[in-house]
């Protein structure tokens, strides 16, 4: 661990990394432009073999803020790596920034401002733009479909100022966000069984059930390279997303929505198949029917893996009562008030070239 002997910062920025040295360099350099906020940086490296940790060690010697490096000997996944960073945090607030994202000046200052909106504000969401096309929105908070599948609010839309108002949203995207450390201490960090994808949704909904709110700050801007972790055309990515949406629902959804889960799932599949036939939506990205069929097999594999993990998830569901503040009816109302339309969910996809898996 690398540590400069400076006063405890107000904010801890956590960046998880695996073999993305060039992107990581740009990510950390973007933090140098932050002003008005005292902060430290914790980089958690998941056993990179591209020289990333060695570069961080050298960078820390001249960085204008304290830098801590945690070196894992194996890939622990996004969830565990961020939990390590959170555990090491000295700040009153914890900001997460993907290694493939670059923060605009004022990002931290704007996110921190959200917590002045009330003591029950536990999360702050960024306006995330597509790095390759900054005029296009990646995410401006999150929405959800009632089978547990979630999607970034505004994903794929041209930024015309439609998300320029500060407002409450369901939860933030984990690529660029801020959490109140006291909230994380109360409800726990990321569910490490998820490994990656959908983890921010699970943490966000768990926080909402515990009575915490999330504020979207439109001036907290980040530019994000999409799909660099596994690639937008990765079958493993699809499997993890599908598995984790089932686990999220089983763990956190009220019983009334769980009974309807299968119907919402079938409706989404039907809409997605219709969109894919016209080359739209996430499945529509996959070239040719053979590739699309493999994508469907990946979804089925995710469902089977989720079924195998359900007993452990049900145990976690029973433990929620210790932090619960919202009733089942209130949770259902919350989700219904932030539901994405089936047409938007099935047909939208961020434009541009998808990285290869």
Q: Is 346 helix (H, G, I), strand (E, B) or coil?
A: helix
Q: Is 130 helix (H, G, I), strand (E, B) or coil?
A: strand
308: phi then psi, degrees, rounded to nearest 5: -70, -30
d(CA 172, CA 168): 10
Residues contacting residue 308 through CB under 8 Å, at least 6 positions apart: none
* pLDDT attached to residue 196: 87
Provide the CATH number for the domain formed by 11-224 in this structure. 3.90.550.10
The structure's pTM equals 0.91
CB of 243 closer than 8 Å to CB of 149: no
* pLDDT attached to residue 9: 73
Q: Is 223 helix (H, G, I), strand (E, B) or coil?
A: strand
Domain residue ranges of the chain, discontinuous segments joined by +: 11-224, 235-347
* pLDDT attached to residue 235: 86
How remote is the C-alpha of 174 from its chain's centroid?
3
pLDDT in tens, the chain (357 residues): 444 445 567 999 999 999 999 999 999 999 999 999 999 999 999 999 999 999 999 999 999 999 999 999 999 999 999 999 999 999 999 999 999 999 999 999 999 999 999 999 999 999 999 999 999 999 999 999 999 999 999 999 999 999 999 999 999 999 999 999 999 999 999 999 999 899 999 999 999 999 999 999 999 999 999 755 544 568 888 999 999 999 999 999 999 999 999 999 999 989 888 887 777 766 666 666 788 788 889 989 999 999 999 999 999 999 999 999 999 999 999 999 999 999 888 876 544 333 222
* pLDDT attached to residue 290: 80
Beta bridge partners of 102: 223
* pLDDT attached to residue 347: 78
CB of 239 closer than 8 Å to CB of 299: yes
Evaluated on CA atoms 173, 175, 180, 183, the torsion sign reads positive
DSSP E strands in the chain: the ranges are 11-17, 39-45, 67-71, 93-97, 101-103, 121-130, 133-139, 142-144, 150-152, 167-169, 176-180, 213-224
């Amino acid at each position: 661990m690398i540590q400069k002997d400076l006063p405890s910062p107000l904010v801890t920025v956590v960046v998880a990394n695996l073999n993305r040295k060039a992107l990581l360099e740009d990510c950390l350099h973007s933090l140098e432009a932050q002003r008005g906020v005292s902060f430290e940086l914790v980089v958690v490296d998941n056993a990179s073999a591209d020289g990333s940790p060695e570069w961080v060690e050298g960078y820390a010697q001249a960085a204008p803020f304290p830098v801590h490096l945690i070196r894992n000997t194996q890939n622990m996944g996004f969830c565990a790596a961020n939990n390590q960073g959170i555990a090491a945090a000295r700040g009153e607030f914890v900001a997460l920034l993907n290694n493939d994202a670059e923060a605009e000046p004022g990002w931290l200052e704007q996110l921190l401002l959200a917590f002045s909106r009330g003591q029950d504000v536990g999360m702050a969401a960024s306006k995330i733009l597509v790095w390759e096309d900054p005029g296009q929105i990646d995410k401006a908070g999150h929405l959800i479909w009632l089978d547990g599948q979630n999607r970034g609010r505004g994903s794929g839309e041209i930024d015309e100022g439609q998300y320029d108002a500060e407002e409450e949203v369901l939860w933030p995207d984990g690529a660029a966000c801020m959490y109140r450390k006291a909230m994380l201490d109360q409800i726990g960090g990321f569910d490490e069984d998820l490994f990656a994808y959908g983890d921010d949704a699970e943490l966000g909904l768990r926080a909402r059930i515990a009575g915490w709110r999330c504020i979207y700050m439109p001036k907290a801007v980040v530019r994000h390279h999409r799909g660099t972790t596994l690639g937008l055309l990765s079958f493993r990515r699809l499997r993890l997303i599908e598995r984790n949406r089932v686990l999220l629902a089983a763990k956190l959804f009220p019983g009334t929505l769980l009974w309807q889960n299968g119907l919402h799932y079938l409706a989404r599949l039907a809409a997605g198949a219709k969109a894919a036939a016209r080359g739209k939506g996430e499945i529509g990205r996959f070239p040719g029917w053979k590739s699309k069929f493999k994508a469907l097999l990946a979804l089925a594999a995710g469902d089977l893996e989720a079924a195998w993990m359900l007993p452990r998830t049900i145990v976690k569901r029973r433990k929620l009562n210790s932090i619960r503040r919202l009733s089942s009816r209130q949770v259902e109302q919350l989700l219904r008030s932030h539901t994405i339309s089936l047409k938007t969910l099935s047909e939208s996809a961020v434009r541009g070239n998808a990285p290869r898996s």
